[in-house]
Amino acid sequence: MTPDAFVPVAITDRSGFDESVHAGAVVVVDASGEVVWSAGDPSVVVYPRSSMKPLQCSAMIDQGFSGFPTVVLTRRSGEAVDTAVGCVELAVQSVGVLDVAIDGLTSCSDDMDCPDGQRCQVDLTCG
């Protein structure tokens, strides 16, 4: 991966000064997978980590899931951010609740939610 694979995609301005510049590579493809627009190197391989969570969650919500046992997404900003020409501003806002019942599985937020002799596990299920 080389630095020239990335271009500025978001600039945070505070009082007329660039406070931070976020670089990346962006690609838009059509339904057949053909590149219709890109900024930076569209073939660069990246490890997106947590930056994909809003997109993953949005797709789940579109399919009728709101998480198990609960999904809460929040994004707060102290002020508006202008994006440069050619940049995409993504806003995900979804509200949905779908109760999921799986035989033999009890969700929890602490040990008090679990049957006697079980504890609330890291994955928020009793065991």
**pLDDT confidence band for 89 (50 / 70 / 90):** low
Cα–Cα distance, 74 to 111 (Å, whole number)? 26
Model confidence pLDDT, tens digit, residues 18-60: 999 988 888 888 889 899 999 999 888 887 777 777 777 777 7
The DSSP secondary structure of 32-95, one letter per residue, reads: TS-EEEEES-TT-----GGGGHHHHHHHHHHTT--TTTT-------SS-----TT---------
- 35-49, 82-96, 106-120: least confident range: 82-96
